[in-house]
């Protein structure tokens, strides 16, 4: 799967992933390969990016996620500095 995380001022992440967990408005959910197409609003929280055994966390300030044909695009309002 390909993940792209974009904020209004920069590209925060772009690359291949095996799983992504996002802070959905109705609770966190995980996106795996061949996930159904979806568009969802996101709350402030952690985006957990997994690529095999490597895990990376990006803390976003709300946004929207779109999943379609193993392409995941997160449009984040902002990213908290860690």
In this structure, is residue 81 part of a structural domain? no
Give the number of domains in the chain: 1
Q: Is residue 43 part of a domain?
A: yes
Q: Give the domain CATH number at 7.
A: 2.60.15.10
The DSSP code for 77 is S
- Has residue 27 been placed in a domain? yes
- pLDDT tens figures, 54-63: 999 999 999 9
Examine residue 18 and state whether it is found in any structural domain, yes or no.
Answer: yes
Please measure the distance between the N-terminal and C-terminal CA atoms of the chain and give it in whole angstroms.
Answer: 25
The structure's pTM equals 0.94
Domain-embedded: residue 82: no
Domain boundaries, position 44: 2-76
pLDDT attached to residue 81: 72
**Structural domain contains residue 62:** yes
Task: Give the separation between CA 45 and CA 29, rounded to whole angstroms.
Answer: 12
29 Cβ partners below 8 Å, 6+ apart? 21, 22, 40
Q: What is the pLDDT of residues 8-41, one digit of tens each?
A: 999 999 999 999 999 998 999 999 999 999 999 9
Residue written as token pair 């996930």 = 35
């Amino acid at each position: 799967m390909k993940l792209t995380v974009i904020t209004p001022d920069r590209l925060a992440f772009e690359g291949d992933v095996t799983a992504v967990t996002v802070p959905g408005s109705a609770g966190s959910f995980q996106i795996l390969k061949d996930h159904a197409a979806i568009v969802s609003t996101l709350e402030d929280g952690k985006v957990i990016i997994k690529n095999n055994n490597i895990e990376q966390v990006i803390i976003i300030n709300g946004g929207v996620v779109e999943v379609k044909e193993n392409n995941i695009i997160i449009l984040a309002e902002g990213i908290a500095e860690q």
